[in-house]
Amino acid sequence: MRSLTAGFVLGAAGPVLGLSPLDTFYPPTLNQTSYISNSSIGTYGGIYKAPTNGPTGGDPYGTYDYCSMPHPRSQEYKSPGPIANGSVKGELVYLEYLQRHQRRSPYNILPGGENQAYECDNVRPYLYAGGNSDSGIQPMPMYAQTYQDPTNPFTPGVNGTCQYPQITIGGVQDGYQHGKDLWNVYGKKLGLIPKKPNDRVWFRSSESALTQGSAGAVLRGVWPDYDGALPLHQMVSSVDTVNEGYSCSAISSTLSELESTTEWKEHLSVTSELRSKLGSMLGATSSSWQSTFDHFSDNFQARLCNGYELPCSISNSSACVTMEMAEEVFRAGDWEWNYYWRTNPYVTKYIQVVEGLFIGEIVARLQAVLDGKSSLDYSHIFVHDGDIGPILGALGINALRWPAMASNVAFEVWKTNGKGSAGYYARVLYSGQPVQTIHGTLDWIHLSDLIAILSVYVPEDIESLCG
Ligand SMILES: *[C@@H]1O[C@H](CO)[C@@H](O)[C@H](O)[C@H]1NC(C)=O
Ligand SMILES: *[C@@H]1O[C@H](CO)[C@@H](O)[C@H](O)[C@H]1NC(C)=O
Ligand SMILES: *[C@@H]1O[C@H](CO)[C@@H](O)[C@H](O)[C@H]1NC(C)=O
Ligand SMILES: *[C@@H]1O[C@H](CO)[C@@H](O)[C@H](O)[C@H]1NC(C)=O
Ligand SMILES: *[C@@H]1O[C@H](CO)[C@@H](O)[C@H](O)[C@H]1NC(C)=O
């Protein structure tokens, strides 16, 4: 059993509502299963609701918001301490920005059926191909329009016009605002992002339509008037270093090991009543629904974050998921993410096999900046919770709640000048604030120290590690 930090008693200074926005990111008892079972914790100040339309952002700014995580904004942005107080002179020379896609419809449809329709007619997910030059074929801008044909005998288990998952209108609107805010900080204020895309900016996404859809919305916010097309780099999906692209049997074997520990079993035992209630209400009794909180969380979050209600049973419309049940699901989900990427006994290896190659790519770009050889000023990569989680784990974040919609990590590199103090410093913002880690708050550290922190997770030989 893990013990409380000496002297810390959750809520001792008053109700959970007294938390500051930043506190909501760092529940000190997240590594205990009592965090899951103690219903008075509620959402630990987190927000899990948003209307269909955006843009939305947690209120007050900086609060953990599952539907739309905070991101750097010029209204609140502060330079790193020593730059802000003038003790050091320097400028931002590089930004490595990673983000999860914006809010969306769910991956996981309730096995018993969904009692509400999902509508996505208000979004146009574009997909079209053309020649690679302006003189080549210019395609018709086509978008996907989901429909159901009455002659198709198969029913999808959910009514409406969405694909699962797909970006929703609120996600598109949030993304556009996200990009506008990034421009205001890193373009207008700090002069790093150029007025229009040039060869020192670089974009990448996973193979998923979700991350591509987010990129289009966010980058339109960054450059509202640019009328060309931009490359969004992607690896071949069978070897992709994000979103668990390449195959590696050590990923699933390490996962089974960490899901065999006493702590893991304890988190299932404290939630057995909840799981069995939800299972019978929603037809979700299979192990894929019962062995982790991934599917319930995903299903409920997608409803609440897009203007819908929590689900009810199809066979009994008065048997519904309550907010209290959903909150316990969310606390259990947060506990699991902290366990996967921070506290399980195999965590170093788990991060290495899942995310080590991608972390190595980030380290290589940071090293190029340190060596004065970077060919880029701004890299922006659109990925998934399963990528943001291990990166925050590698940084040693003090507590890791589920990296929510549009959660983001900004690696800033500052170059200082002046006699004797020339050098490269880094800071790392998680969803707009310097991240709090076992190495301290990463507001101003030597770039070489940040590289050293991350390098532990870069495998020397991934093929042998994968087995
Ligand atoms: C649990 O988290 C607290 C607060 O972050 C920390 O002090 C403690 O060492 C952690 N316990 C374990 C076993 O990880
Ligand atoms: C449950 O959490 C509340 C804070 O919301 C705290 O005051 C209380 O001590 C906790 N109870 C247990 C049994 O851990
Ligand atoms: C400026 O800020 C840094 C870091 O926050 C601190 O160490 C330093 O003492 C401050 N200097 C002045 C002159 O306030
Ligand atoms: C889907 O919509 C149709 C027509 O409105 C309705 O008859 C049917 O019950 C709905 N199905 C579900 C699972 O809600
Ligand atoms: C329907 O659900 C309600 C609320 O859980 C319950 O009280 C009631 O007995 C259920 N009805 C049937 C027919 O199962």
How many A from CA of 283 to the centre of ligand 5?
Answer: 15
Ligand with minimal distance to 115 CA: 4
Ligand 2, atom 4: closest residue by C-alpha: 11
The label of the residue with tokens 């797909």 reads 166
CATH class name, domain 1-104+166-257+326-467: alpha beta
Mutational pocket test of ligand 1: of 29, 31, 392, 437, the residue with most ligand atoms within 8 Å of the beta carbon: 31
Amino acid 134: pLDDT: 84
CA distance 289 to 239: 28
CA separation (Å) from 142 to 104, 119, 125, 127?
A: 20, 19, 8, 6
Q: What angle do CA 370, 371, 372 make, to 5 degrees?
A: 90
Q: Which numbered atom of ligand 2 lies nearest the CA of 15?
A: 5
Q: Which numbered atom of ligand 2 lies nearest the CA of 41?
A: 5
Which pairs from 151-158 meet CB under 8 Å and 24+ separation? 156/109, 157/109, 157/110, 157/113, 157/114, 158/109, 158/113, 158/114, 158/117, 158/118
User: What are the pocket residues of ligand 5 if the criterion is a CB atom closer than 6 Å to any ligand atom?
Assistant: 316, 318-319
* Residue 159 near ligand 4, beta carbon < 6 Å: yes
The H or E element spanning position 97 is strand 89-100
Amino acid 12: pLDDT: 32
11: left (phi over 0), alpha (psi -120 to 50) or beta: left
Amino acid 419: pLDDT: 67
Which token pair is 75? Answer: 């209204």
Please tell me the pTM assigned to this model. Answer: 0.94
Ligand 5, atom 14: closest residue by C-alpha: 316
DSSP 168-204: -HHHHHHHHHHHHHHIIIIIIIT--S-SS--TTEEEE
Amino acid 57: pLDDT: 84
Mutational pocket test of ligand 4: of 159, 162, 308, 313, the residue with most ligand atoms within 8 Å of the beta carbon: 159
372: left (phi over 0), alpha (psi -120 to 50) or beta: left
Q: Which residues of the chain fall below pLDDT 70?
A: 1-17, 419-421
**Residue pLDDT, tens place only, 181-215:** 999 999 999 999 999 999 999 999 999 999 999 99
Task: Count other C-beta atoms under 10 Å from residue 47's C-beta.
Answer: 21
Amino acid 302: pLDDT: 98
How many A from CA of 77 to the centre of ligand 3?
Answer: 18
How many A from CA of 274 to the centre of ligand 5?
Answer: 16
**Residue pLDDT, tens place only, 132-167:** 988 889 899 999 999 989 999 998 889 999 999 999
Task: Count other C-beta atoms under 10 Å from residue 337's C-beta.
Answer: 24
Task: Count other C-beta atoms under 10 Å from residue 241's C-beta.
Answer: 20
Amino acid 9: pLDDT: 33
* Residue 160 near ligand 4, beta carbon < 6 Å: no
Q: Are β-strands 408-417 and 378-383 bridged in parallel, bridged antiparallel, or unpaired? A: unpaired
CA distance 350 to 259: 12
Q: Which sign does the torsion angle of CA 55, 114, 326, 166 carry?
A: negative
Q: What angle do helix axes 347-370 and 447-455 make, rounded to 10 degrees?
A: 150
Ligand 2, atom 12: closest residue by C-alpha: 38
